[in-house]
Chain A
Amino acid sequence: MSVKTLDVIRKRLEERPDELRRARENGLKVVGWVGYNVPEEIIHALGFIPVRIAVGGDDRLVEIGARYASSKTCVFIREIVGAFAENKDPYIQQTDILAFDATCLQNYRAAEVIEYFFKKDVVVLAVPRNFHLDEAKEYFAHEANEFTRLLEERAGAPLDSARLAESVALYNDIRKTLKSIYTFQASKNNVISWEEVYDLIQAGELLDKREYLSLLTQTLDELKERQHYPVIASDDGDSRIFLSGSLIPRGDRKLISIIKSVGGRIVGDDLWSGILPHLDLDIKEISPAGVALGYLNRTPHAALPYLDLESDRRLKKLQECLSQFKAQGVIYHTLRYCDPFTFKAKETKNVLAKSGIPLLEIHTEYAGSDYEAMKTRVEAFVEMIKIKSEIAEEQSVLVDA
């Protein structure tokens, strides 16, 4: 299959930490952001280099993190805290300022803990829980201004509207291109896999944004050349799995590799470490509040409660994606102590059951000890989906017997 530009991207990622180091020597500042509603364009337009701090999959760091943030914090946050404690991650080493948001309370606590123990310069964007109400939007606009003010102080210059417009345009192009690329992975005779696109999305959290856009454009050109027009449909013997639930950051590939190893094919996701944050981001006004509200108005993160099931946009989006990518089953990934997603697992399952889509919840942490147990579940789920599609054939065997 191999798409050539992907190799270039991998190489560029290897070079990136050094590049950041040099940029900082030349007076630029790196802002590491952690969370789900951090308006990156504002950081970018202020002349900072934004990188997303999202690491996972390392049980050792989780252990270290637990010393600071207790063993009852979600594994993801524990690992982040552990990574700060250890200070060996090349991106963490290169951050000057940290930007957190309070979409998830655990993410917010991480900001406090990291600020306290590791004496980091932390800026926090508060996020309203009643995000859909007018008064909440007004409050959030104030918070976005405050967030910008705190960053301006650190940039030593005010935010320039023209530069913000440029950043927004750049990010819009990135999002648009990503979306186009994403459809290729779900197609019949695909030349790029979901796993590759997933890595590609996460590469964008670290690379220089302009360069990233041009790499994405090249990737898309390559895909178009090889596949012209992607048709989203099953290949023979596929069991088309959709991934949902808690984020799966770089470094954590346990579940993804298990799905592949038992013959499942991932064809889509609505993960906050995947395509979801890039969808439906509509910035209506070039201002800090305008950008931030664009973020908040996307499909809401599971940490933001919504009290009416019927009109819940998160579930609507999930259903829309399932039909768009012709998924046959959902694997719903919940990280240990990730309340936003664990609380919704059963409900999501029930909602999808009505349209005949099975859901398997996989509850896990970063230790390798549950690998076999996870594998059994995923394998049985994939078997179940396959048997479902082969049921007619199966039956004839049984009838004969």
Chain B
Amino acid sequence: MSLSGNYFAGVDVGSLAAKSVILKDGDIFATGLVPSGVNSVESGLNALNIALESAGLKQEELTYIVGTGYGRVSAPYANKAVTEITCHAKGANYLHPTVRTIIDMGGQDCKAIRIDQDGAVVDFAMNDKCAAGTGRFLEVMAGVFKVELKDLGAIALSATDTVPMSSTCTVFAESETISLVARGEKPENILNGIHHSIANRIAGLFSRVGIESDVFFSGGVAKNSGMKNAIEQALKVTIVKPEIDPQLIGALGAAVIARNFAKKEGLWA
């Protein structure tokens, strides 16, 4: 079955998950999300197929596809590749045109992005290459406490104290955490400390690019309520509520850019 309209897709292959968004003309039509495997081409296609399936579309019916995320370099299905920084900017702008600042916390990096009213990037900064302040870091911590990643935030929110974490290096923090547990500190207080230490890192990142309201929190970690809370405290801001899964923002932005490219290249009028 073929539907009328123009379809544009964005596919974002990150280190932990692959995401896709399909736009019909200007509206979100379908989305897909799968954990990333080692093969990033496959992961991207899987995510795209989920969205296609739920939309009842075939890949050929897509006018334009933009790939993003670290998997963008090997995305034969995409017409173009754009970095996730540009995509997050466009995605957040699409949802909330008043957004000027984006915090993106993904699996392996963390970004501070400043955008203008058109969703164009005016400045950005990223964490250095270590995993501190990323989804990966939290995943390791969830492992230490043997809890689900998604429950970490709620546990931290139940803390009565904040145990400071000296180390932001994942490897060191892991063993530091173990010794904190060994000396009798409560898990929720340690987790609270971890969230605060990451939030401070992020606040530091913003001291390089500045911050302006509205603030949007994207990426997989954005679903963590404890993290959101800690960041709001550290940055003294209120984070806007996302209408869609914040993990999809990169793919959404890629789809918006796909539409722009299609227009520029005369594939869609």
Tell me if A349 counts as interface (CB < 8 A to partner B). Answer: yes
Within 8 A of A (CB), among B61-96: 70, 73, 82-86
Q: Which residues of B contact A372 (CB under 8 A)?
A: 70, 73
A392 to chain B, nearest CB (A): 10
- Taking a contact as CB atoms under 8 Å apart, the answer to whether A380 and B121 are in contact is yes
A122 to chain B, nearest CB (A): 34
Given known A-B contacts A387-B121, A391-B118, A370 and B129 have beta carbons under 8 A apart: yes
Size bracket, chain A contacts: 20 to 34
A366 to chain B, nearest CB (A): 13
- Taking a contact as CB atoms under 8 Å apart, the answer to whether A380 and B118 are in contact is no
Which of B146-154, B217-225, B256-264 is the interface stretch?
Answer: B256-264
- Taking a contact as CB atoms under 8 Å apart, the answer to whether A358 and B86 are in contact is no
Number of interface residues of B (CB under 8 A): 25
Within 8 A of B (CB), among A111-168: none
Within 8 A of A (CB), among B189-224: 207-208
Within 8 A of A (CB), among B219-269: 259-260, 263-264
Q: Which residues of A contact B118 (CB under 8 A)?
A: 391, 394-395, 398
- Taking a contact as CB atoms under 8 Å apart, the answer to whether A397 and B126 are in contact is no
- Taking a contact as CB atoms under 8 Å apart, the answer to whether B83 and A376 are in contact is yes
- Taking a contact as CB atoms under 8 Å apart, the answer to whether B263 and A397 are in contact is yes
- Taking a contact as CB atoms under 8 Å apart, the answer to whether B260 and A391 are in contact is no
The residue from A358, A376, A377, A379 contacting B123, defined by CB atoms under 8 A apart: A358
- Taking a contact as CB atoms under 8 Å apart, the answer to whether A394 and B70 are in contact is no
Q: How many Å lie between the Cα of A401 and that of B264 in the bound state?
A: 12
Interface set of B (CB-CB < 8 Å, partner A)? 26, 70, 73, 82-86, 109, 118, 120-126, 128-129, 207-208, 259-260, 263-264
- Taking a contact as CB atoms under 8 Å apart, the answer to whether A376 and B208 are in contact is no
Q: Which residues of A contact B125 (CB under 8 A)?
A: 361
Tell me if A383 counts as interface (CB < 8 A to partner B). Answer: yes
Q: Which residues of B contact A393 (CB under 8 A)?
A: 264
Count, A-B residue pairs, CB within 8 A: 60
Interface set of A (CB-CB < 8 Å, partner B)? 346, 349, 353, 358, 361, 363, 369-370, 372-373, 376-377, 379-380, 383-384, 387-388, 391, 393-395, 397-398, 400-401
Q: How many Å lie between the Cα of A394 and that of B115 in the bound state?
A: 15
- Taking a contact as CB atoms under 8 Å apart, the answer to whether A379 and B83 are in contact is yes
- Taking a contact as CB atoms under 8 Å apart, the answer to whether A380 and B129 are in contact is no
- Taking a contact as CB atoms under 8 Å apart, the answer to whether B260 and A398 are in contact is yes
- Taking a contact as CB atoms under 8 Å apart, the answer to whether A388 and B120 are in contact is yes
A269 to chain B, nearest CB (A): 22
- Taking a contact as CB atoms under 8 Å apart, the answer to whether B70 and A383 are in contact is no
Q: Which residues of A contact B126 (CB under 8 A)?
A: 373, 376-377
- Taking a contact as CB atoms under 8 Å apart, the answer to whether B120 and A376 are in contact is no
B28 to chain A, nearest CB (A): 14
- Taking a contact as CB atoms under 8 Å apart, the answer to whether B129 and A373 are in contact is yes
Q: Which residues of A contact B123 (CB under 8 A)?
A: 353, 358
Q: Which 3 A-B pairs rank lowest in CB-CB distance, beginning with the nearest?
A: A380-B85, A380-B83, A384-B121
Q: Which residues of B contact A398 (CB under 8 A)?
A: 118, 260
- Taking a contact as CB atoms under 8 Å apart, the answer to whether B124 and A380 are in contact is yes
The residue from B26, B86, B208, B263 contacting A384, defined by CB atoms under 8 A apart: B86
